[in-house]
Amino acid sequence: MRSSPDEIGELDHDEFADEPEETATLKVIPESEISPADPAPAPTPNPVPAPATTPAVVKAKADPAPAPVPVVENAAPATLETSPKSSNEPRHNRPPTAAKTQDTPWTRPSRRDIMSLGAFSFVLLLVAIWVISRFFTQLHFQSKLVDMPDFPVSGQHASVATAETYWREPVREGPSRDVAKREVVMIPVLDLSLDPGKSPQGALRIIFRNHEGMPIGDPITRSFNGGRFDASGSEKISFPSTNGFTDKGVFNGYRTRTGRPWMADVMEGPSVDAPAGSFKLLVQIPVLPQPR
């Protein structure tokens, strides 16, 4: 039998006796997606049944107990912290890409440094002068054989007043062309002059010899009368050799040697047609290595 409500509106407890009792359940919050750790799932507490006498208003106030938050110790750094800045970010907000190099200020050299540099330059200049002078002195023979004889040199038929020797290329064309061989590129030449008062009549024969003393080319004979050569009409004449160097490289090597030079034997005789035995050595003149 159901009882009627009292005066203050209280509900009869028997009215809720047939309704099923509601039980409170706890929800488990899922783990954060950014955490790489995989902790053990939190235990689910057993549901606590509400007392039968507790009204529905009281049941609504019960909150589920929060699940324990796992502590991640070795979590990886956030992706946003290591990702590079966007290229659209202002330049003054970007981190510096490389350390700026600072220019070293120029310092004035001290007096000691200037003096040291000057001394070094002076020594270097002396060495350069010595090397250059040594090189050019080697182009001239240092042997006594290169010493020119003391002129004038007088003999039985002639007296040589002056003489000069040098090297040049043979002349191939013209009335004064040389009779040197076709393959020759440099020939020795002897220029000499007679003393007219001491050279009445006779002939001079020139024989060129190489550094080994071997005769080179053909002997050249010129007659003179009254101190003048018949071929030139003057007391001066030139004797170019008919042979010489066939390679300029070999000639340049000859110039730098310090051994025996080429020589020009000046021999005198009574005439051009005189036998070879009648010509006697008057003077031997070294052929200097200067080219012309």
**Within a domain: 129:** no
Question: How confident is the model at residue 113, as a pLDDT?
Answer: 87
**Within a domain: 61:** no
**147 vs 154: CA distance, rounded Å:** 18
| Over residues 103-117, mean pLDDT | 81
**Within a domain: 268:** yes
Question: How confident is the model at residue 107, as a pLDDT?
Answer: 79
Structure-model confidence comparison of residues 42 and 152, the more confident one: 152
**Within a domain: 237:** yes
**Within a domain: 133:** no
Please write the tens of the pLDDT for every residue from 10-25: 545 455 445 555 555 5
Number of domains, the chain: 1
| Over residues 20-37, mean pLDDT | 52
3-state secondary structure of 214: coil
**Within a domain: 30:** no
Structure-model confidence comparison of residues 34 and 133, the more confident one: 133
**Within a domain: 159:** yes
**Within a domain: 111:** no
Please write the tens of the pLDDT for every residue from 52-99: 554 444 444 445 555 555 555 554 554 444 444 445 555 555 555 555
Structure-model confidence comparison of residues 238 and 17, the more confident one: 238
Closest CA to 68 of 24, 25, 34, 29: 29
Say yes or no to pLDDT of 34 above 50.
Answer: no
Say yes or no to pLDDT of 233 above 90.
Answer: yes
Structure-model confidence comparison of residues 144 and 189, the more confident one: 189
**First-to-final CA distance of the chain:** 159
Report the CATH number that the domain containing residue 269 is assigned in CATH: 2.60.40
Domain that holds residue 165: 144-286
Which of the given ranges, 106-115, 172-181, 277-286, has the highest pLDDT on average? 277-286
Say yes or no to pLDDT of 239 above 50.
Answer: yes
Radius of gyration of the chain (CA): 62
Say yes or no to pLDDT of 163 above 60.
Answer: yes
Q: CA dihedral in degrees (188, 193, 198, 200; nearest 10)?
A: 80
Amino acid identity, residue 32?
Answer: S
Q: What is the mean pLDDT of the chain?
A: 76
